[in-house]
C-alpha cells in the first residue's frame, strides 16, 4: 500500500516544481494484512454458525417465579400398615418374660420437640428402636404410595440400621432420594392433582389454593422437598409469568445443532467444485454474503416453524462450516511462508475461538436487553462489511496483488512447490493412496478429533452457564467468551514460539500437542469433580486454563498439516474440515440427547479421556518432515530469484509491482 507525498520546491525565480514520492506503508509485510483480514472474515462467518449456541437459551427462556406448596394426600402414613397382630399368650403354658433383643438404634433424645407434633411422632422412634423390622415395613409402605418401582428402590436404599433418625423428624427429605424415586413421586403427585379434590384434600401455595390452576403443570416445573409422616408433600412449583418465544425438545435442539455439522460434512465436495471454478476469493465471498443474509433471516425463519429453521441451518450454515478449513488451507498455501507457518496458523486458526467470542458477547449483550433477535441482525451486518473488505483486499495469489513486492513474493514462495507458476489456480494430482497410508497424516487426524472435541465443548459453555450455573444472560456471555479470547491471544504467541524454538520438527510437534491436550484434560477433570453451582467462578478459571492450553495445539496437529502436506496442505485442511464437522455433530448430540443425571460432568470426563488418548496417538505417529507423498521437494521448489518461475509476478521495477 502506498501513500503519496507531494513536495513543493521553490526557487528564487518563483518556479514551483512538484514531485510525487511513493512511501510504502507495509513494505514487504503485506502478507500480514492478508492474515489479519482473512482471520477477521473467517471469524465473523464462524460466529454466524455459533450464534445459535447462545441465543437458543434466550429463545427458549421463560420468565417465571417459584412458589412453595404443600399437598395433603388425605391419609396418615401409619394408617393401614399391615403387620401381624400380637399373639395372645397360651394360658396352658407358664408365663415367661419375652426375650428382648437389644436394638441397634441409640436411645435418642431430641429436645424442643413437643408431642404430638404435626408431621412428627414420638411413637415413630419407639417403633424404630423396639421393632426395626416393622419400621422398615412402614417406610416401604410410604414409598409404595408413590410407586411400586420406588418401593423396591426404597427398600434397598433405606436400611433402618443406617438411618439418622434426626433427619426424619419432619418426614423424608426427598433431596436425598435417588432421582428415579423423586421422579416417580412427581408423577404420583401430578396424577393426584389432575384427579381433583376427590383424592387430594388441597394444593396450597403461598398465594392460596390453586389446585385448578396447576392441573396442567409440567413435571419439570415441580421440585419436591419432603413427605411428612401425616401424608403431606412439601415442595415448590414454577409459575410461568411469560412463556418462551419457542419451545424445542432436547432432540429438536440436538437436530438444530447437529445438522450444521452434517451439512459441513456433505457440502465439502460442493465447496471443492466451487473453488475449482471460481477460486478462493470469489467463492468465500459469495458464501460469506449468503451466510450473512441467512443469519439475518433466522428470527423470521424460526417463526415459520422448526423444519424451515433446520433447512436453513443445514444448507447455509452447513456450507459456511464446510468452507472454513479449506479456505485456511488455500490462504496458508498461497500467502504463508513455511518459515512463518506457526505464526500464520496461529492467526488463521484463531478464527475458531474469535468467532465464538464474537457470537457470545453479542448474544449476551442483546439477550440481556431482551432482544435476542438483534443478535442475528448485528452479526449479519458485521459479516457483510467484513467479508466485503476482505474481498476488496484479498487476491488468490501474491502474484495477482499489486501491493506485494518482489522481495516479499520471494519470501512467501521460498521452499514451496509451484507446479505451474503461470497458472492462476494450480492443481496437483492427489496421491490419495499414499496419503491414506501415511502415518503422519493419521496422526493429524487423530489429533484433530481430540482438539476439535474439546474446543466444541467450550462452545456450548453458554448453555452450561445458563442451565447449570444459572448465570444471567450477560454474565454467561462474558464468561463463555473469556476462555476463547484468551485462546486467541495465546494462539499467536504459541505459533511464534513453535517457529522460534530450535528443536527437531517432530519433537516440537509432540511437545506442543501433548502440552495442549494433557494440560487441558487436567482442567476438564477439575471442572467435572470440583465445580458446583455454589463455586461457579472456580469453573470459569478452569475453563480459561483449558482454553489457554488448547491454544498450544497450533504448534501440534495444526502445524503438522503444512509440515507434512506441503503442496497438499489445502487437501489436508479440507480433511480437518470434515473431522471438525463430524465432531461438532457428535458433541451437539452429547450435549442435548444424552441427558442422564450429571451429564455435563460425564461430558467433561469423556472430553478429558479423549484428549489424553488422542495426545498419545498423535505423539506415537507424528512426524514433522514432509510426507513421502510430497515427492522430492528440494528439486521442485520455487526458489527465490528463479526468473522463469517468477516472471508472472514481476510487474514493476525497483523491487515492486505496478
Q: Are 607 and 549 in contact (CB under 8 A)?
A: no
**Contact partners, residue 645, CB within 8 Å, separation at least 6:** 418, 421, 638
> In this structure, are 603 and 488 located in the same domain?
yes
More confident of the two residues 495 and 317: 317
Residue 455: per-residue pLDDT: 95
Lookup result for grid cell 385448578: 212
> In this structure, are 227 and 272 located in the same domain?
no
**Secondary structure class of 504 (helix, strand, coil):** coil
pLDDT of 321 > 60? The answer is: yes
> In this structure, are 352 and 449 located in the same domain?
yes
Percentage of the residues of the chain whose pLDDT score is greater than 70: 65
Q: How far apart are the first and last CA of the chain?
A: 11
Label residue 140 by pLDDT band (50, 70, 90).
low
Residue 408: per-residue pLDDT: 85
> In this structure, are 602 and 515 located in the same domain?
yes
More confident of the two residues 411 and 166: 411
Tell me the C-alpha to C-alpha distance, in Å, between residue 239 and each of 203, 218, 226, 295: 14, 10, 20, 33
Residue 355: per-residue pLDDT: 95
**Average pLDDT over every residue of 377-398:** 94
Asked if the structure places residue 94 within a domain, the reply is no
* Count of helix runs (H) and strand runs (E) in the chain: 25, 8
| Average pLDDT in the chain | 76
Residue 426: per-residue pLDDT: 45
Lowest mean pLDDT among 68-82, 172-186, 424-438: 68-82
> In this structure, are 473 and 396 located in the same domain?
yes
Lowest mean pLDDT among 68-82, 353-367, 515-529: 68-82
Asked if the structure places residue 638 within a domain, the reply is no
Tell me which residue of 431, 417, 429, 439 sits closest to 625, measured CA to CA.
Answer: 439
Label residue 470 by pLDDT band (50, 70, 90).
confident
Asked if the structure places residue 95 within a domain, the reply is no
Asked if the structure places residue 655 within a domain, the reply is no
Q: What CATH code is carried by the domain that includes residue 443? A: 1.20.1250.20
Q: Which residue, of 242, 265, 291, is where some domain finishes?
A: 242
Asked if the structure places residue 350 within a domain, the reply is yes
Residue 157: per-residue pLDDT: 44
> In this structure, are 43 and 71 located in the same domain?
no
pLDDT of 580 > 90? The answer is: yes
CA–CA gap between residue 422 and residue 399 (Å, rounded): 10
**Average pLDDT over every residue of 29-39:** 90
Asked if the structure places residue 492 within a domain, the reply is yes
pLDDT of 611 > 80? The answer is: yes
Residue 417: per-residue pLDDT: 62
More confident of the two residues 25 and 541: 541
**Average pLDDT over every residue of 521-548:** 90
Asked if the structure places residue 127 within a domain, the reply is yes
pLDDT of 185 > 70? The answer is: no
Asked if the structure places residue 116 within a domain, the reply is yes
Q: Which three cell numbers stand for residue 241?
A: 409469568
CA–CA gap between residue 599 and residue 8 (Å, rounded): 74
> In this structure, are 28 and 78 located in the same domain?
no
Residue 25: per-residue pLDDT: 52
pLDDT of 166 > 90? The answer is: no
Lowest mean pLDDT among 289-303, 427-441, 522-536, 555-569: 427-441
> In this structure, are 493 and 614 located in the same domain?
yes
Provide the number of structural domains found in the chain.
2
Lowest mean pLDDT among 279-283, 365-369, 590-594: 590-594
> In this structure, are 207 and 267 located in the same domain?
no
Residue 237: per-residue pLDDT: 75
Residue 630: per-residue pLDDT: 81
Label residue 552 by pLDDT band (50, 70, 90).
very high
Tell me which residue of 570, 568, 575, 557 sits closest to 636, measured CA to CA.
Answer: 568
Q: Which three cell numbers stand for residue 187?
A: 408423577
Label residue 2 by pLDDT band (50, 70, 90).
very low
> In this structure, are 415 and 506 located in the same domain?
yes
CA–CA gap between residue 579 and residue 571 (Å, rounded): 13
**Average pLDDT over every residue of 106-129:** 43
Enclosing domain of residue 285: 10-16+23-61+245-629
Within a 10 A sphere around the Cβ of 423, how many other Cβ atoms? 11
Q: Which residue, of 209, 242, 275, is where some domain finishes?
A: 242
Q: Model confidence over 557-575: pLDDT tens digits?
A: 998 988 888 888 888 888 8
> In this structure, are 425 and 563 located in the same domain?
yes
Q: Which residue, of 225, 242, 259, is where some domain finishes?
A: 242
pLDDT of 168 > 70? The answer is: no
Residue 475: per-residue pLDDT: 93
More confident of the two residues 313 and 96: 313
Residue 89: per-residue pLDDT: 47
Label residue 306 by pLDDT band (50, 70, 90).
very high
> In this structure, are 250 and 138 located in the same domain?
no
CA–CA gap between residue 649 and residue 658 (Å, rounded): 10
Q: Model confidence over 393-415: pLDDT tens digits?
A: 999 988 888 888 888 888 888 86
Lowest mean pLDDT among 89-103, 306-320, 426-440, 442-456: 89-103
More confident of the two residues 399 and 261: 261
User: H or E element: which one contains 241?
Assistant: strand 232-242
Amino acid at each position: 500500500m502506498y501513500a503519496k507525498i507531494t513536495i513543493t520546491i521553490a526557487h528564487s525565480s518563483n518556479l514551483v516544481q512538484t514531485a510525487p514520492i511513493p512511501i510504502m506503508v507495509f513494505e514487504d509485510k503485506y502478507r500480514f494484512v492478508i492474515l489479519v483480514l482473512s482471520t477477521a472474515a473467517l471469524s465473523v462467518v464462524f460466529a454466524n454458525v455459533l450464534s445459535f449456541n447462545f441465543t437458543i437459551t434466550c429463545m427458549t427462556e421463560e420468565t417465571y417465579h417459584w412458589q412453595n406448596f404443600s399437598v395433603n394426600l388425605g391419609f396418615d402414613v401409619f394408617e393401614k400398615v399391615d403387620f401381624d397382630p400380637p399373639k395372645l399368650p397360651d394360658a396352658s403354658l407358664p408365663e415367661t418374660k419375652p426375650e428382648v433383643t437389644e436394638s441397634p438404634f441409640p436411645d435418642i433424645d431430641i429436645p424442643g420437640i413437643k408431642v404430638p407434633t404435626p408431621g412428627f411422632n414420638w411413637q415413630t422412634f419407639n417403633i424404630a428402636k423396639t421393632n426395626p423390622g416393622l419400621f422398615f415395613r412402614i417406610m416401604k409402605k410410604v414409598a409404595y404410595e408413590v410407586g411400586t418401582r420406588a418401593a423396591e428402590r426404597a427398600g434397598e436404599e433405606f436400611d433402618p440400621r443406617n438411618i439418622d433418625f434426626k433427619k426424619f423428624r419432619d418426614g423424608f427429605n426427598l433431596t436425598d432420594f435417588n432421582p428415579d424415586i423423586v421422579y416417580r413421586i412427581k408423577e404420583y403427585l401430578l396424577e393426584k392433582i389432575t384427579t381433583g379434590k376427590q383424592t387430594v384434600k388441597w394444593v396450597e401455595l403461598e398465594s392460596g389454593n390453586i389446585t385448578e390452576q396447576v392441573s396442567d403443570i409440567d413435571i419439570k416445573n415441580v421440585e419436591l422437598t419432603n413427605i411428612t409422616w401425616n401424608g403431606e408433600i412439601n415442595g415448590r412449583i414454577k409459575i410461568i409469568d411469560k412463556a418462551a418465544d419457542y419451545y424445542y425438545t432436547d432432540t429438536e435442539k440436538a437436530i438444530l445443532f447437529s445438522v450444521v455439522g452434517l451439512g459441513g460434512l456433505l457440502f465439502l465436495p460442493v465447496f471443492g467444485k466451487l473453488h475449482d471454478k471460481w477460486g478462493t476469493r470469489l467463492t468465500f465471498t459469495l458464501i460469506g454474503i449468503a451466510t450473512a443474509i441467512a443469519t439475518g433471516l433466522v428470527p423470521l425463519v424460526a417463526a415459520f416453524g422448526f423444519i424451515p429453521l433446520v433447512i436453513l441451518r443445514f444448507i447455509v450454515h452447513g456450507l459456511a462450516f464446510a468452507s472454513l478449513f479449506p479456505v485456511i488451507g488455500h490462504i496458508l498455501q498461497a500467502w504463508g511462508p513455511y518459515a512463518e507457518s506457526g505464526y500464520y496458523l496461529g492467526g488463521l486458526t484463531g478464527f475458531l475461538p474469535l468467532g465464538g467470542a464474537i457470537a457470545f458477547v453479542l448474544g449476551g449483550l442483546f439477550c440481556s436487553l431482551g432482544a435476542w433477535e438483534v443478535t442475528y441482525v448485528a452479526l449479519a451486518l458485521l459479516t457483510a462489511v467484513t467479508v466485503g473488505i476482505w474481498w476488496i483486499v484479498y487476491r488468490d495469489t501474491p502474484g495477482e496483488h499489486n501491493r506485494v513486492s518482489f522481495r516479499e513474493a520471494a519470501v512467501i514462495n521460498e521452499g514451496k512447490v509451484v507446479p505451474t507458476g503461470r497458472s492462476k489456480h494450480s492443481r496437483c494430482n492427489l496421491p490419495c493412496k499414499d496419503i491414506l497410508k501415511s502415518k503422519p497424516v493419521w496422526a493429524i487426524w487423530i489429533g484433530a478429533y481430540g482438539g476439535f472435541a474439546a474446543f466444541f465443548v467450550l462452545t456450548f459453555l453458554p448453555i452450561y452457564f445458563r442451565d447449570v450455573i444459572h448465570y444471567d444472560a450477560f454474565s454467561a456471555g462474558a464468561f463463555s467468551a473469556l476462555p476463547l479470547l484468551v485462546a486467541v491471544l495465546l494462539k499467536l504467541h504459541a505459533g511464534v514460539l513453535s517457529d522460534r524454538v530450535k528443536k527437531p520438527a517432530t519433537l516440537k510437534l509432540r511437545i506442543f500437542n501433548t502440552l495442549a491436550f494433557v494440560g487441558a484434560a487436567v482442567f476438564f477433570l477439575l471442572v467435572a469433580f470440583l465445580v458446583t453451582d455454589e463455586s461457579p467462578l472456580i469453573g470459569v478459571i478452569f475453563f480459561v486454563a483449558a482454553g489457554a492450553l488448547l491454544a498450544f495445539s497450533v504448534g501440534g496437529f495444526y502445524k503438522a498439516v503444512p509440515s507434512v502436506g506441503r503442496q497438499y496442505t489445502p487437501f489436508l485442511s479440507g480433511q480437518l474440515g470434515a473431522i471438525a464437522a463430524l465432531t461438532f455433530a457428535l458433541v451437539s448430540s452429547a450435549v442435548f440427547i444424552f441427558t442422564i443425571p450429571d451429564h455435563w460432568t460425564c461430558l467433561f470426563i469423556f472430553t478429558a479421556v479423549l484428549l489424553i488418548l488422542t495426545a498419545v496417538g498423535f505423539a506415537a505417529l507424528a512426524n514433522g518432515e514432509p510426507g513421502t507423498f510430497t515427492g522430492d521437494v528440494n528439486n521442485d521448489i520455487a526458489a527465490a530469484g528463479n526468473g522463469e518461475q517468477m516472471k508472472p509476478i514481476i510487474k514493476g521495477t525497483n523491487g515492486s509491482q505496478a
